[in-house]
Structure 1
Amino acid sequence: MHGSFITFEGVEGAGKSTQIVVLADWLRDAGYTVMMTREPGGAPQAEQIRDLLVSGDTASWTDMGECLLMNAARTEHLARTIRPALKAGSIVLCDRFMDSTRAYQGGAGGIDMTALRQIERAVVGNTGPDLTFIFDLPVAAGLERAKTRGGDDRFEKKGRAYHERVRSAFLQIAAEEPDRCKVIQADQTQDKVTQDILAIIKAWLPVKGGGHHD
């Protein structure tokens, strides 16, 4: 049985990483095999590229340079991690994927979407997500959360206007692909966010016909 590919997207500080762990535990309890992964990263070669992307000055890379590095990492991630797991029947939960490239390097960075989609088609091919949660909250609140989380991510330093464009791009993606993309209001309590995700998953899994589920 071929697995299912679920991605988690959204602005900085939206709480994706927390909810991925909660959903993974719930799915495992329901009898599914689950693999959690992330982008950029998710394979040794891709993690090396991640280090280049998330550290340093905001001007370290051009938007096209970022896009190409992201897709280089994604190529390795798909080949070495995602596709083998899907082939084995796992549910793959990924923290960011192609929609982040569309939103950050496309919507916010201004890369021509036609060029971006051509690169995406070459890299992703038929291995697009089956379901995508897009976590939405006001940019100021997200950046404040990200700051309290610690770390030194160069994307978080790109300024509010940049992140407003990211948010708009994510909401546009959700509007264009409503069957795949489900918007989650991330400015609620963690428990309420979890409830919203589980309500969608419980309705979606039987349609996918995967595994045994109660």
Structure 2
Amino acid sequence: MTQGHKQGRFISVEGVDGAGKSTHLAWLAEHLRAQGIPLLLTREPGGTKVGEYLRELLLREGMQLDTEALLMFAARSEHLASVIRPALARGEWVLCDRFSDATYAYQGGGRGLALERFAALENWVQGEGAARIEPELTLLFDVPLEVSQARMANGRVLDRFEREALDFHARVRAAYLERAAAAPARIRVIDANRPLEVIQAELAGLLAGLGWIGRTAA
């Protein structure tokens, strides 16, 4: 669903663990707010009381793989109904730390669950046709696996996804890049193995090139 200007815009931020996504997300939020854009910053799984509870379960507790995927979509259903759809209707921009592309990458690519199941769940949760809601723009921050692994080995406490073996993260990255290749107009791959100022300049240029900021700030 392409959101009109008066309905706000929906941007998601994706990437493998250790790609620096959180750093870039914080900068992007600050950059957009500096343009006078009403912005809602949220995350998946999470974003609601129910979603945050499910997030703790998903990141800390082992479970059956089908259960894991279903809980991701359950959290997303609550998130869309309670937070994202109302914000867009108010004319706010939504900047979301992960969305459905992450489910394809982690539960599909990483876990190896059947992708056709996700398509059915996606239609149920996100809607179909004109009622469908998905990000207009997805920024996929990508780094080589050796870089992401080195960044995670910094002494912080890792969640159960971050603790997965290297081949799991390789499959996640491959699934992300495959998803991006299938939807190049929406998913923009950002080389995150560069200096911050270079990446930030690219992000600012991308938004300006789309004409979004000019129309919103004018």
Shorter-chain TM-score bucket reads over 0.9
Displacement after TM superposition at 1:140 (Å): 2.3
Further displaced range: 62-71 or 164-173 = 62-71
Asked whether the 8 Å contact 2:104–2:118 carries over to 1, the reply is yes
Q: Which residue of 2 is the match for residue 164 of structure 1?
A: 170
2:108 to 103, 106, 109: 106
1:147 aligned onto 2:153: yes
Task: Using structure 2 for the length normalisation, give the TM-score.
Answer: 0.91
List gaps (5 residues or longer) in structure 2.
Answer: 1-5
Task: Work out the CA distance in 1 between the residues paired with 2:155 and 2:207.
Answer: 28
Give 1:212 deviation, angstroms: 2.2
TM-superposed CA distance for 1:187, in Å, is 0.8
Task: Give the root-mean-square deviation of aligned CA atoms.
Answer: 1.5
**Residues 136-182 of structure 1, C-alpha deviation per residue, up to 9 Å, x if partnerless?**
11112112212326123100111100100000000001100000000
Which residue number in structure 1 is paired with residue 3 of structure 2?
none
Q: Which runs of 4+ in 1 moved over 4 A?
A: none
Q: Which residue of 2 aligns with 1:74?
A: 76
Aligned residue number for residue 193 of structure 1: 199
Query: In the alignment, which of 16, 19, 43 is matched to residue 14 of structure 1?
Result: 19
Q: Give, in whole Å, the separation in 2 of the partners of 1:74 and 1:149.
A: 30
Residues in 1 aligned to 2:186 and 2:65: alpha-carbon distance in whole angstroms:
26
Q: Name the CA distance, whole Å, in 2 between partners of 1:198 and 1:123.
A: 31
Cα distance in 2, alignment partners of residues 112 and 201 from structure 1 = 34
In the TM superposition, what are the counterparts of 1:201-212 in structure 2 within 5 Å? 201-206=207-212, 210-212=215-217
Shift of 1:73: 0.7
State the Cα distance separating 1:17 from its structure 2 match.
1.2
Once the two structures are overlaid, the 10-residue window that deviates more, 118-127 or 93-102, is 118-127
* Paired amino acid for 2:186: R
* SS of aligned partner of 1:156: coil
**Please, which of 35, 47, 54 is the counterpart of residue 30 of structure 1?**
35
Question: How big is the shift at 1:209?
Answer: 7.7
Q: Write the distance in 1 (CA, Å) between the matches of 2:214 and 2:136.
A: 13
Task: Single out whichever of 125-134 and 14-23 deviates more from structure 2.
Answer: 14-23
1:35-82 CA distance string (max 9 Å, x none): 1111110111100000001114xxx12322111011111111111111
Conservation of the 8 A alpha-carbon contact between 2:9 and 2:136: yes
Distance 2:137 2:192 in 1: 17
**Aligned equivalent of 1:47:** 52
Give percent identity, aligned residues only. 41
**Other structure's SS at 2:94 match:** strand
Aligned length, in residue pairs: 209
Whichever residue aligns with residue 208 of structure 2, its letter is: K
Residue type matched to 1:146 in 2?
M
Match of 2:85 among 83, 86, 97: 83
TM-score (norm 1): 0.93
User: Which of 6, 9, 22 is residue 4 of structure 1 equivalent to?
Assistant: 9
d(CA) in 2 for partners of 1:2, 1:210: 13
What letter matches 1:157 in structure 2? R
**Displacement, 1:15?**
1.1
Equivalent residue number for residue 128 of structure 1: 134
Q: Report if the CA contact (8 A) 2:10-2:136 is conserved.
A: yes
Matched-pair contact (CA < 8 Å) for 2:208–2:214: no
